[in-house]
Every structure is written in C-alpha cells, then in structure tokens.
Structure 1
Amino acid sequence: MPWFATGTPTILTKLVKKFNMEPETFSTGFEASLGMFDAPTETARNPIPMLYQSGYLTIKKFDGYEYTLAFPNEEVRVGFCGSLIPHYAFDDVVANDTFILAFTRAMREGKIEDALIRMRAFLSSIPYNAEHKDENHYKTLFFLIFKLCTPYVVRTEECSAAGRADAVVETANAVYVFEFKLSGNATAEDALKQIDDKGYLIPYTVTQAADGTPKKLFKIGVSFDEEKRTIGEWIVA
C-alpha cells in the first residue's frame, strides 16, 4: 500500500484551501527559498513547509538560488488530488469514487457529452450551504476530477500566442480545449468564440496519436449556472 494511502492529514488539505493554493500548481512545482520550505510549521504563512516536511513535496531542482518543490511522483500527486476532492465537493467518498469511475469511462470512450452530463449532476449534488462558488472554484474541481482520470494530461491556464485557455485535456486520441464562463457574465457561445478568436486550438493541430494519425480536436465552451451552482450549458465543436 502506498504510504499516502493511510490518509492525507486533514490539516494539510484545509491549509491548501485556507491559503488559496491552486491545486493546478502542484503539476508545475513551487519556487521556494531555503527559509520558506524549511520554516517551522507553527509559524508558516503557507502550506509548503508542512507539505515538504510531511513528504508530499520533494526538492526537484536547485539553481543555486531557488529551489523547486514538487510531488515525488505521479502516484503521490494523484493520491493527494484525490484527498482534496471532499474539501471541494463533499465527504461521501463512495459517491465521489462512483462519479470518477463513470466519468473516466465516458472520457475513455470519447463520450464528452456523457462526461459533461455526469459532471453537471455531480456538481449539482454539492450541498447548497457550502461556501460560495465562483469560476475558480469550479475550475479547481474540474482540474482535480481530470487529474484522477489518469493518464490524461491536464493543464489549466494554458498559454498560447494569443492568451490562456482555461483548461486543456489531452487523451491518447484527442485534445479537448475548455473555456469557462459564469452565466451572469457570458454564455457558452461566448466561451466558444473566445477559443476561436484566441486560437487556443492552433498549438494542437500537429499533435499526433501513437499510430501517427492526427489527434481529434475539440473545443468546449462551458457556462456555469450561478443560481443552480452547476454546469448550465455547453457547446462541443
């Protein structure tokens, strides 16, 4: 059994939320000075010292001035992301796992519509009295969900020449570019238009599958219904 499977300390996941650490940054690593990641946990101003001292983060690079801390391997990264789900959704582990399995199956079979329907149902099941949900909260949930659907490549705020796509999911045979909007600010059509206007798909037009054939490219504009607190509408093109 992996060492992290015995349970991620609740205090760690609470600290990640308290200090508004974006789980996405765990994929790229954290820049740190010696004093930052080796500081006493009781006086720490962010979760990095505790994450490092508990073994969840390790030193990946040192350039003589700055350290880069990251998860030691993919297994630990996935385990930690899984432990964060209850703190962004709910504590029913069985329900969370059931959703992840069904969602992963839909993605594996290329059924993006089914996957989004399942995500809408999942998000709508989060208790209404939970803390206020905004666009970043939903993007964080999206990221965590997809990270549990390994071996998919998931990136958020992905840079291109013209801007940043909210999320990019790359599977063995396809690339999905997502743009999110809150219903009070814009529509799914607006999100899709931004993908086109900014050319978010262009960097992936030369991406190939293992057999050398071009990967299928999809753009997905998503609007979150702020009143219902879940996905409202989406367009897949």
Structure 2
Amino acid sequence: MARKLYPIGIQTFEEIRRNDNLYIDKTEYVYRITHTDGKYFFLCRPRRFGKSLLVSTIKSYFEGKRELFEGLAIEKLEKEWKEYPVLLFSFAGGKHMEKEQLERYLLFLLHNNEERFGITCDSPDPNVRLLNLINKVYEITGKQVVVLIDEYDAPLLDVVHEDNSLEILRSVMRNFFSPLKDCDPKLRFVLLTGITKFSQLSIFSELNNIANISMDTPYSGICGITKDELLTQMSDDIDRLAESMGADRESTIAKLKEYYDGYHFTWPSPDVFNPFSLLSCFAKQNIEAFWFASGTPTYLLEMLRKYDVAPSKIGDFYAPKTAFDAPTERMATITPLLYQSGYVTIKDYDKETELYHLDIPNMEIRIGLYENLLPYYLDRDTDAGRVVIARMSSLIKRGMIDDAMQLLKTFWETVPYCANTDYEGHYQQAMYIIFALLSHFRIQVEQHTFNGRTDITMETSDTIYIMELKFGKSAQDALDQINAKHYDKAFAMSDKKVVKMGISFEVDTNKNIMMEWIR
C-alpha cells in the first residue's frame, strides 16, 4: 500500500484531511480541552512543534466539520457536534515590526475576520475593533464565540533582549487583548499558543483566569509525536526508513530516539519526538538535524549573551518548578526561555527536593545549538573549524588522539587573535563547543570529582580523556593539576582506559595563539 504524504509545512487540519495526508491523531486532546473546567487556556510549546495544526484542528471542530474527523478518536467521544463562530488570529507574520507596523498588522487580522462575517468597522483602535467584532458576531449568529490566538508572542521574541522596544510592543499587545474579559459571557472558548510565556500583567492585563496547561500531565502529548504514536501510527514509516538505511528496525528506532526524542513537558511524561524533524526524516529517508535548518534562533543567541550564559552551562542542571513559570520579561535566569523554547527539557524529577533535572533533549538540538554558537568563538574561521571537527571525530574514533590534537593545534594557530579572547574561559568554552560537536562521544565540562572539577571529560567507546586547560601557563602545569587532585580516581570503577591530558593556550609577542598539550 502506498504511503500517505507527509504534511511538512502544512498547518491546516482541513487541508491535511481532505488531501488524505498523514495525520497523527490528536483529537482526543481536542475533546479534552474543550470539555473541561474553564474556557481560557494557554499552551506553550517550542517552534515547529504542531501548535498551529492544533489550533487549526480546534477551529475545524468548533465549526462543526464532522466529516473531517471520521475515523479519529473524537468521533467516538463527541455526540452533539455543535457549531460555533470562530475568530482566528495568527501572529506568525507579525515579526520584525515597529509599533506602527504592529498596529497595522492587528487591523489587518481584524479586517480578515470582519470580512468573514460581513462586518464593517472603521475604528483605528485594535481593541475597539476586537470588542466590536466579538459583539457583532455574537449578535449575528446568536452563539457564543470561539477565539483562537496562535503564536501570540511572535512580535515580541525579536525584541525580548531589548527592554525599551519590548515594553512598547508589549503595550500594543496588551491593549489589543484587553476586551476579552469584558466579552466573557459571549465567549465559548479561548486558546492562546506561543513559544514563551509573558506575564498576565504585561499582556493579558484583565485575563487573570487563564489556565496555563503547558505543564499539565493530561496535555503532555498534545503537541509533538509520542513514542507510542510513532510505534503504532508510523510503524510502516519506520520499516521504510530502516530498509532505506540498510539497518534493522530496532537500531533505526534507537537512532530516531537519539536524534529527535527526549522532550518531556511535565513529569512523569511520555517520550515526545520533534514532529517537524521526524516527518522530515521520513520524507528524506535520512537522519540529520532538520530543526535548526528551518530557522536560526536569533533571539536565543541574543539572550544567552544578555544573561552571560556560557555554552557549557546550557544543559545538565537542576531547577525548581517556579523557574518554569517565570514570565519572559522578568526572568532572573535564562532557564524559562531555554525550557519553553525546547533547548532544554525535563529529564527527571526528585520528589524529595522538588527539583527538576533539565538537559538538552537530543542529538539534533545539541548539534544545532553548538553549530550556531560556534561563530561567536571562531568568528570568520567557523567553516574551517567545522572541517577540523569532522576530521578530529574520525581520528578519535580510530584511537588517534595525538593526531586529532595536532590537527586542533594547527587550526588554533591560524585563528586571528582578538583582544576579548585573552582569558582562560574563552578557550575553555570554545574547546567545549568543539568537543561537543564531536557527536559520537560523551562530553562533560567541569565534571565534579572528589577533589575538584575537571575542565573537559570526553568518553569514547573504550577511553575516558580527562583534560585540564590553562591560559598563560604550561601544559605541564595543567597535567600536574590533574595528578595533584587525582581527577582520575572518579573513574576508577570504569572498565575504560583513562588518559590524562594537559592543554595550554598563550598569545605570543606577535599576537599568535599558541596551543600545546601533553599526556
């Protein structure tokens, strides 16, 4: 039987169903959210995670398009199929805008909805137009109105690191949403989706009864593709990929998990795969990093700079639940943004301490993230650095660590000197990124041991490399520190060979970067 086409980039439920494209059934969640306490809901998920398709599915459901749901879970759950008027506002196109542009964009979205119901209004104020629109639609149809707002934070993410611009655009958005509470009796259901959470005070000034379901267990799999959905609804797709790759089914599933799985939006939670990457992988019959290729997270890189977060500090840390709920504009750390954007995810939860263990979800995110951070440390030599990393990976896999380090030494000595790199931390972080991109190996930075922390630990299939970095001192000084503090004792129980390496950087009188190593 011919496979169904993958709806890559298609976010309209009706189009997917009428074209008989592959659809992972999320309609049980649609029924759940539309038949529960309250009527105002907020959901945050990373980009390209299926939020827009969810919104479109809910739109078709409330419009009573029963025929689109034949054979899906909701068909057995819904008995009445009541039809409601739906207002849809997608802010996906509202990026890179100044105040006046954003106000015109709001009026454009309002006009599109007004036309659908034959309503005219010439007010220049978006909040007045929204209030009038809801009231008129309620009068015309005699039914409560459904309001769906997709990617509400798109206009704000570009300026999230600029306090003045953020406040101006936030004020525009707050003004636009202000009528929603006054219209409460005339509303059946309201859903807002986004990547990040801005505070109710700053955006939904009066809407203090909105339920944030982002970390609620019943909705843990509402977006993305769960492992169970992959193994059941996409079983044939796995077999096709395995055949294409010349691999067996189990090893193919393991590779898919390594690259695209690992997301948990609450705990406990089913394993959730990145849907865009998974479908792209099946379509191209190749496992690679797709998510970053679809858009560079400029706002994240700017916020990492603003909060002075070193690359080595992005993953493998602990946080209380309150850290997830901090509004984006009042974050004390970058944790909420990293989590909400999908760059770290929940890996475990300790009931005793009530702390969540957070880490980078999978190989795709690790590679993409550090690929995007590499230019900040290598500047114009980024492409040359990528070539060196690929060659080093091949050498280390063959146990040729000295050849790999000589290759790295030669590379560093061609990198132009910059005054702001004249400190040990710069080279430690640059080396961490380089080693992190050696994707076949397990890399840890500042790993705790009995007597201190190692700078970099790299674990291959048969060897553990303990590396200490020094700037302005000798490689022997670095190796002496490893020996003096007995870092190797932390790995005494391992059956792998342990190799200690001292690495040094210095800038000579001609402003050349010099690297040495000893083991």
Q: TM-score if structure 2 supplies the norm length?
A: 0.40
Question: Quick one: distance in 1 between partners of 2:296 and 2:334?
Answer: 13
1:102 to 385, 388, 391: 391
1:194 to 481, 492, 510: 481
2:341 to 54, 67, 78: 54
Match status 1:26 vs 2:314? yes
1:92 to partner: Cα distance: 5.1
Q: Deviations over 1:177-230 (max 9, x none)?
A: 1111122xx32212111111111112324422xxxxxx3321111111133563
1:149 to partner: Cα distance: 0.8
Partner of residue 87, structure 1:
376
Partner of residue 193, structure 2:
none
Distance 1:18 1:116, change over 3 A: farther
Question: Quick one: distance in 2 between partners of 1:198 and 1:173?
Answer: 23
Question: Quick one: distance in 1 between partners of 2:420 and 2:325?
Answer: 32
Question: Quick one: distance in 1 between partners of 2:471 and 2:406?
Answer: 18
Percent of residue pairs identical: 36
Distance 1:38 1:88, change over 3 A: farther
The one-letter amino acid of 2:387's match is T
Q: Deviations over 1:123-162 (max 9, x none)?
A: 3343323633311111111111111112211112222222
Secondary structure of 2:440 counterpart? coil
Match status 1:163 vs 2:452? yes
Q: Does structure 2 conserve the Cα–Cα contact (< 8 Å) formed by 1:32 and 1:68?
A: no
Q: Does structure 2 conserve the Cα–Cα contact (< 8 Å) formed by 1:222 and 1:231?
A: no
Secondary structure of 2:454 counterpart? strand
Match status 1:13 vs 2:301? yes
Partner of residue 518, structure 2:
235
Paired residues for 1:65-214 under 5 Å: 65-91=354-380, 93-129=382-418, 131-183=420-472, 186-208=473-495
Secondary structure of 1:219 counterpart? strand
Q: TM-score if structure 1 supplies the norm length?
A: 0.82
Pair member with larger Rg: 2
Question: Quick one: distance in 1 between partners of 2:349 and 2:449?
Answer: 28
Partner of residue 224, structure 1:
505
Question: Quick one: distance in 2 between partners of 1:86 and 1:103?
Answer: 18
Partner of residue 241, structure 2:
none
Question: Quick one: distance in 1 between partners of 2:412 and 2:318?
Answer: 29
Q: Deviations over 1:28-54 (max 9, x none)?
A: 1342443x4333434434433332332
Runs of 4+ in 1 over 6 A off after TM superposition: none
Unmatched 5+ residue regions in structure 2? 1-279, 281-289
Which of the pair is proportionally richer in strand? Answer: 1
Question: Quick one: distance in 1 between partners of 2:394 and 2:309?
Answer: 29
The one-letter amino acid of 1:177's match is I
CA RMSD of aligned residues (A): 2.5
Number of aligned residues: 227
Question: Quick one: distance in 1 between partners of 2:419 and 2:481?
Answer: 31
Secondary structure of 1:224 counterpart? strand
Q: Deviations over 1:88-113 (max 9, x none)?
A: 11255532321211121221122222
